[in-house]
Amino acid sequence: MKLPAKTIERLSQYRRILLSCQGKGKTHIYSHELAHLLNITAVQVRRDIMLMGYASSQKKGYDIKDLVSVIGSILDPKKNQNVAVIGVGNLGRAITSYFKGKRTKLNIVATFDNDPAKVNTVISGVNCYPVKQLPEMIKSLDISIAILTVTPDSASIVAENLVMAGIRGILNFTSVPLSVAPHVYLEEYDMVTSIEKVAYFVKKNATGT
Amino acid sequence: MKLPAKTIERLSQYRRILLSCQGKGKTHIYSHELAHLLNITAVQVRRDIMLMGYASSQKKGYDIKDLVSVIGSILDPKKNQNVAVIGVGNLGRAITSYFKGKRTKLNIVATFDNDPAKVNTVISGVNCYPVKQLPEMIKSLDISIAILTVTPDSASIVAENLVMAGIRGILNFTSVPLSVAPHVYLEEYDMVTSIEKVAYFVKKNATGT
DNA sequence: AATATACTGTTAATTTTATAACATTGTTTG
DNA sequence: CAAACAATGTTATAAAATTAACAGTATATT
């Protein structure tokens, strides 16, 4: 089964919404309800669900528990995937604390920083190691995914080390575009670009063009 | 001129790269050089540049100064656009300090928080106001864009207040999908989704499918 | 000066993503 | 029970984004 990348992104969002509904005691949900909560169309919801191969048994909407389980069977790994955050600045801390405990199969198990004041401290329950120890810790903790929140000047070299240490996926929050071997999945996100994009469309709306 | 949203995102990235090259004394750049630095194709670079309506005068590549100026003429507003960060947690701080001084026409002029310990402090040179003062400050400081980094439970209500106060664009970093009036440009980014996406493709690569 | 080279600018084709259309089916209602 | 209704599942169409193809042109080369 080969799902579109955009569908994968939405599955993650569906699940969060569904879990939240479940927490409120809801057991079933209509496609248009889910759509409304995410500001997308009901067709898109149904199509995504169809692509997963799930079909609602009733006309009372989708069974939330089933849906969560199906999404989990697609998104979640069989065995745990371990994640590291490289760079314990404000952003690294935000991500670590934000993500902590969000998913059971996907855990942040280590953070890394060069600052001696940060090394060996505990951030949201996760220990901070010196960047120098990246290779050994990646192996010993079986870390497959790295979240990169270091300063721009060290981004490239750290990424290189990550790849050499055997990392399989990188989520890059630095402003430096990375280049990695093709077997490493790379996702980049840049906040300044997002802000500039919003600014552009705000300006565009204002001027009417 | 109506440029694709994806092109707008890339223009922002082109500019950053170009400015960095300029800082190194480079005056001209080939499409394939720029492409390589961003891990995209040279065709895409040329196509984006074409869409802007710019043409290189020489075969020595694009004049960097000209390109930066053309991109600026598209992305930058005539008069300053003011930005506010709502929610001074780790993420809010990260964004504020990260963005500070990055662009001349786009400035973070205020932060907002409910925590009395944070109110009236200065974060990266920007003053923090109580959330209660949002409406008046948005007007008096002429803020058109808000970056939302509050806790999930208050995201919706804060967004509503922002819209009522006359905000024109929102960049939403909370995990709560927002719904705003159509005249407000909304961009959402969720880190957990990004991490889960990376995890999915790492898993998928590993299992060979 | 003619030819090869290397790059750009543009149109065409392809791929990806989203939307629309519609047939199907359970549920409700008169 | 039959008709109307409301929801889903699926195919078809449209829109957006990327990639490919190729013509055009300045520069370099012999």
User: What is the 3-state secondary structure of chain B?
Assistant: CCCCHHHHHHHHHHHHHHHHHHHCCCCEECHHHHHHHHCCCHHHHHHHHHHHCCCCCCCCCEEHHHHHHHHHHHHCCCCCEEEEEECCCHHHHHHHHHHCCCCCCEEEEEEEECCCCCCCCEECCEEEEEHHHHHHHHHHCCEEEEEECCCHHHHHHHHHHHHHCCCCEEEECCCCCCCCCCCCEEEECCHHHHHHHHHHHHHHHHCCC
pLDDT at A209: 54
User: What distance in Å separates the CA atoms of residue A117 and residue A138, rounded to the nearest whole number?
Assistant: 22
Chain A residues touching B193 at Cβ < 8 A: 9, 12-13
The answer to whether residues B139 and B113 touch, using CB atoms and an 8 Å cutoff, is no
Per the CB < 8 Å rule, is A102 touching B191?
A: no
Nearest-CA residue relative to C1' of C15: A4
What positions of strand D are covered by protein, i.e. any atom < 7 Å from a CB?
6-11, 16-21, 25-27
Per the CB < 8 Å rule, is A205 touching B191?
A: no
Chain A residues touching B83 at Cβ < 8 A: 195, 199
Chain A residues touching B17 at Cβ < 8 A: 177
User: What distance in Å separates the CA atoms of residue A125 and residue A85, rounded to the nearest whole number?
Assistant: 13
Per the CB < 8 Å rule, is A177 touching B17?
A: yes
Per the CB < 8 Å rule, is A145 touching B195?
A: yes
CA of B118 and C1' of D25: distance in angstroms? 61
Per the CB < 8 Å rule, is A106 touching B179?
A: no
pLDDT digits (tens, 9 = 90+) for B73-83: 999 999 999 99
Containing H/E element for A144? strand A143-148
Distance from CA of A90 to the nearest CA of B (A): 5
Chain B residues touching A182 at Cβ < 8 A: none
The answer to whether residues B144 and B84 touch, using CB atoms and an 8 Å cutoff, is no
Q: What is the DSSP letter of A132?
A: G
Query: Is B112 a residue whose pLDDT tops 60?
Result: yes
Q: Can you read off the two tokens belonging to residue B7?
A: 């092109």
By Cβ distance, the residue of B147, B194, B196 closest to A195 is B147
Distance from CA of B209 to the nearest CA of A (A): 8
Interface test with A, best of B196, B201, B204 (most A CBs within 10 A): B196
Distance from CA of B46 to the nearest CA of A (A): 19
Nearest nt (C1') to A58 (CA)?
A: C26
User: What distance in Å separates the CA atoms of residue A42 and residue A25, rounded to the nearest whole number?
Assistant: 22
CA of A172 and C1' of D17: distance in angstroms? 23
Distance from CA of B146 to the nearest CA of A (A): 9
- Digitized pLDDT (tens) for each residue of chain A, 209 residues in all: 789 999 999 999 999 999 999 999 999 999 999 999 999 999 999 999 999 999 887 778 999 999 999 999 999 999 999 999 999 999 999 999 998 878 889 999 999 999 999 999 999 999 999 999 999 999 999 999 999 999 999 999 999 999 999 999 999 999 999 999 999 999 999 999 999 999 999 999 887 65
Residue reference for tokens 């598209």: B74
CA of A154 and C1' of C24: distance in angstroms? 58
Alpha carbon of residue A140 to chain centroid = 23
CA of B62 and C1' of D26: distance in angstroms? 13
Phi–psi pair at A148, nearest 5 degrees: -100, 115
Please state the three-class secondary structure of B22-62 as a single string. Answer: HHCCCCEECHHHHHHHHCCCHHHHHHHHHHHCCCCCCCCCE
The answer to whether residues A203 and B8 touch, using CB atoms and an 8 Å cutoff, is no
User: What distance in Å separates the CA atoms of residue B19 and residue A188, rounded to the nearest whole number?
Assistant: 20
Per the CB < 8 Å rule, is B12 touching A37?
A: no
The mean per-residue pLDDT over the stretch B6-20 comes to 97
Query: Is B209 a residue whose pLDDT tops 60?
Result: no
pTM of this prediction exceeds 0.85: yes
Query: Is B208 a residue whose pLDDT tops 80?
Result: no
- What percent of chain B has a predicted confidence (pLDDT) above 70? 99
pLDDT at B102: 84
Chain B residues touching A37 at Cβ < 8 A: 177
